[in-house]
Amino acid sequence: MHDVRELIELGPEAVRRLARRRHRLDLEALGALHRRRVEALETVDRLRGELKRSSRGPQPTEAAREESRRLRDQVQESEAVLRTVEQELEETLMGIPNLPLDAVPDGDSEKQAVEVRKGGPPLRPAAGQARHHADLGESLGVLDAGRAAALSGARFSVSRGAGARLERALASFLLDLHTREHGYTEYSVPHLVNRETMTGTGQLPKFQEDLFATSVGGRELFLIPTAEVPLTNLVARELLEDRDLPLAMTARTPCYRAEAGSYGRDTRGVLRLHQFEKVELVRICAQEEAQQQLELMVGQVEECLRRLELSYRVVLLPAGDMGFSARMTYDIEVWLPGSDSYREISSVSDCGGFQARRAGIRHRTAEGRKLPAATLNGSALPIGRTVAALLEQGVQPDGSVLLPEALVPYTGFRRILPGGAVES
């Protein structure tokens, strides 16, 4: 969420930057709403002062008591006006996305993303050997789309045998890498959170249709779309000390997404499911350190892919294609030969102070100033999409799939054979 005073102070600059996200900021209406709030607050303060003064002094007369009653009524009325104006202002600010940094390119789709670099081994397999992971999963006996559909309908997946072991191995490998070498603290967090928690990271109110919700006994809870939500909110409404920053947190959780508006896209395989597992990274730091922390996180995602021997590229997203809370986002895209394309496997975003203002996350500087912190998040990595890439890039001429050496200590095997058997 924005500080309304900063938006008004930026003026036409804020309008220009938000226009790059295809968002029209009505600066005049926002300014008028802010002035109404200031005036309402001044009225409340004035009337409270008058009421306090009227209650002082000797034994009050009936006239003085009547004046106090009148002032109390006016205070209550003015407070109600203030609450209404503040709610209107908050709802307006909640609908304004983050300001993109000027380093972010123009454009509103992934087609305008700017390639930064490529990494990993040369693209493989050889021409004519490429296969879609859904077909590979069936022939290897590790994915069962039919039984998943029977259980839950479209956009769910069942893994079995070596496939389920591979998923468990991947999660353990990624968490070990991030906690032992990248300095993250691992958390186990709730998968159901309240409305305030969802609002803190920007999922609500704007993206309610993309969320799965439940209400039992009058208690409203939401299934998390990513561990970013509970991890970031672990320090909601807290004042952090500069000496303790940056915070680095990671968790493996299931993620639940309604995928509203995506029907008809990626209907085969495991690229776009209602439920999937992911290892998430969250960092919280001072705002002046956010860009350095962003580059660090991108490097950590790349290290995952290098150790998994996967071909990938890094792209910088255009302003109109970033998430609501982000001011700069890198997508790391893995090569999927089965569809002859690069596909997103991780988004790493710098949100500046946007989420921190919503969630009340502040830090105290060495000079004693209390400022909104910066929050950053990234996938490292989603389990299903990583399995898809390992299958498609690791397929051999005989139909088996060769896995990277880094996973062998976790899987206990190096190769998956057609039918589901494994070889070390």
Catalytic residue among 165, 257, 283, 327: 257
82/142 same-domain check: no
79/114 same-domain check: no
283/390 same-domain check: yes
In the chain, the number of structural domains is 2
Q: pLDDT digit string (tens) for 107-153?
A: 999 899 999 999 999 998 876 789 999 999 999 999 999 999 999 99
Chain mean pLDDT for the chain: 94
Distance CA 118, CA 353 (A): 30
Q: Please compute the mean of the pLDDT values over residues 304-316 and round it to a whole number.
A: 98
Element (H, E) at 331: strand 328-336
Residue 9 located in a structural domain: yes
205/310 same-domain check: yes
240/337 same-domain check: yes
Q: Is 13 tagged catalytic? A: no
89/194 same-domain check: no
Examine the pLDDT at 263 and tell me if it is beyond 70: no
Q: pLDDT digit string (tens) for 45-94?
A: 999 998 888 777 666 777 777 888 888 899 999 999 999 999 999 999 99
State which of 94, 128, 146 marks the end of a domain: 94
Catalytic residue among 79, 344, 364, 414: 344
My answer on whether omega of the bond before 205 falls inside 30° of 0, hence cis, is yes
Catalytic residue among 139, 347, 379, 400: 347
pLDDT for 260 equals: 62
State which of 94, 118, 148 marks the end of a domain: 94
Q: pLDDT digit string (tens) for 317-363?
A: 999 999 999 999 999 999 999 999 999 999 999 999 999 999 999 99
Catalytic residue among 72, 124, 272, 306: 272
pLDDT for 261 equals: 59
Measured CA to CA in angstroms, residue 407 lies from 54, 79, 131, 250, 364 at distances of 76, 61, 22, 20, 42
Residue 219 located in a structural domain: yes
Q: In what order do the strands lie in the sheet with 401-402?
A: 401-402, 415-416, 422-423
Write the CB contacts of 349 (distance below 8 Å, at least 6 apart in sequence). Answer: 294, 322, 323, 325, 326, 327, 328, 329, 330, 376, 377, 378
Element (H, E) at 172: helix 162-180
In 120-191 the beta strands, taken as DSSP E runs, fall at 185-186
Examine the pLDDT at 190 and tell me if it is beyond 90: yes
Q: Is 257 tagged catalytic? A: yes
Catalytic residue among 385, 392, 400, 415: 385
Lowest mean pLDDT segment, chosen from 177-186, 253-262, 388-397: 253-262
Q: Please compute the mean of the pLDDT values over residues 159-176 and round it to a whole number.
A: 98
pLDDT for 59 equals: 66
Q: In what order do the strands lie in the sheet with 328-336?
A: 114-119, 312-316, 328-336, 341-350, 374-382, 275-285, 247-256, 185-186
Examine the pLDDT at 314 and tell me if it is beyond 70: yes
220/258 same-domain check: yes
116/27 same-domain check: no
Residue 103 located in a structural domain: no
Residue 395 located in a structural domain: yes
Q: pLDDT digit string (tens) for 272-297?
A: 999 999 999 999 999 999 999 999 99
247/385 same-domain check: yes
Report how far Cα 121 is from the mean position of its chain's Cα atoms: 29
Q: pLDDT digit string (tens) for 369-410?
A: 999 999 999 999 999 999 999 999 999 999 999 999 999 999
pLDDT for 54 equals: 77
Q: Is 385 tagged catalytic? A: yes
Residue 357 located in a structural domain: yes
| CATH code assigned at 55 | 1.10.287
Residue 104 located in a structural domain: no
pLDDT for 262 equals: 61
Residues of the domain holding 28: 4-94
pLDDT for 14 equals: 97
317/357 same-domain check: yes
